[in-house]
Amino acid sequence: MQLPTFNDIWQDSLQWQPTQEQLEQWEKLYQEIILINRQINLTRITEPNDFLEKHLWDSLAGVIGLDFLNYEDSLKVVDIGTGAGFPGLPISIIFPHWQLTLLDSTRKKINVIKLFLEALKLNNSQTFIGRAEDIGHIPEHREQYDLGLIRAVGEPSVCAEYVLPFLKVGGIGVLYRGNWQKEEEINLNNALKQLGGKLILVKQFETPLTKSIRHFIYVEKITNIPEYFPRPVGIPKQNPL
Ligand SMILES: C[S@@+](CC[C@H](N)C(=O)[O-])C[C@H]1O[C@@H](n2cnc3c(N)ncnc32)[C@H](O)[C@@H]1O
């Protein structure tokens, strides 16, 4: 199985086009994932069209086209709860001058991502094993990042509590969501008040193949975050802000 080449989808939906070399890197990543997925259940999204839309397109759609990002800068980016490497890996391929940290609490997943980084020669990315609640307190990671990405890790206020501690003041957190409800926005705003953040943009997209609705929620870190955030392991999920 190979990834399909729908040449138009990138331009039509994101007004952007990957290079031939980037397409080849994505194909290589796909083949690596399919191979390893036979031994370890890394992702359920393996059918080529699904992989293209739900892993590649979705990962990129969260960051491409943001006028508040300077793409030329060497941004420091963290992907929290990266799982099989999404959204981090496709972004690391497209922005080789960004420095990515792919973080997950599951050692098995991080070990596999290390293999992918080697196979794809992605020298701009490093991995880290641990819980966001712990790593967010380590000086090497706390308030060090320009951009924090988080997809399918928890409800929005939990994601905010995980991401904000990693961001520098002025940094941007990107929450990848499917549907987006008014109630979620109210809860997120309440959490952001405590976390020194502000909701700056909600972008709605239709996915290019299945025409599903996706939302990307952008939050900015406005002030330094109180020392006690993130709260201890498990508390953000058990008792969301
Ligand atoms: C459903 S998977 C999503 C993976 C990937 N972001 C994606 O969208 O395909 C959630 C991942 O978050 C990780 N995770 C959950 N809670 C975490 C935490 N508190 N700190 C770090 N990783 C966490 C899990 O180990 C898992 O790999």
Q: Note the pLDDT of residue 5.
A: 77
Q: Note the pLDDT of residue 3.
A: 86
Measured from the Cα of 233, ligand 1's closest atom is 19
pTM score above 0.90: yes
Q: Does 229 belong to an annotated binding site?
A: no
Q: What is the mean pLDDT of residues 143-172?
A: 97
pLDDT tens digits, residue range 168-210? 999 999 999 999 999 999 999 999 999 999 999 999 999 999 9
Taking the C-alpha atoms of residue 23 and residue 34, their distance in angstroms, rounded to an integer, is 17
Q: Which residues, including other chains, have CB under 8 Å from residue 102's CB and lie 6 or more apart? A: 79, 82, 85, 88, 89, 92, 110, 113, 125, 126, 127, 128
Mutate to test the pocket of ligand 1, among 105, 109, 155, 175 (most ligand atoms within 8 A of CB): 105
Residue 153 has pLDDT above 80, yes or no: yes
Q: Note the pLDDT of residue 214.
A: 97
Measured from the Cα of 79, ligand 1's closest atom is 6
- Percent of the chain's residues with pLDDT above 70: 100
Helix ranges restricted to H, the chain: 7-14, 20-37, 48-50, 58-61, 88-94, 107-119, 132-135, 156-163, 182-195, 235-238
CA of 59 to the centre of ligand 1 (A): 15
Measured from the Cα of 133, ligand 1's closest atom is 19
Domains of the chain are 7-223 (3.40.50.150)
Confidence band for 211, pLDDT divided at 50, 70 and 90: very high
Average predicted confidence (pLDDT) for the chain: 95
**Pick from 219, 149, 217, 220: which is nearest to 178 by CA?**
217
Encode burial over 66-104: b for 16+ CB neighbours within 10 A, e otherwise: beebeeeeebbbbbbbbbbbbbbbbbbbbbeebbbbbbb
Q: Note the pLDDT of residue 70.
A: 77
Q: What is the mean pLDDT of residues 124-150?
A: 98
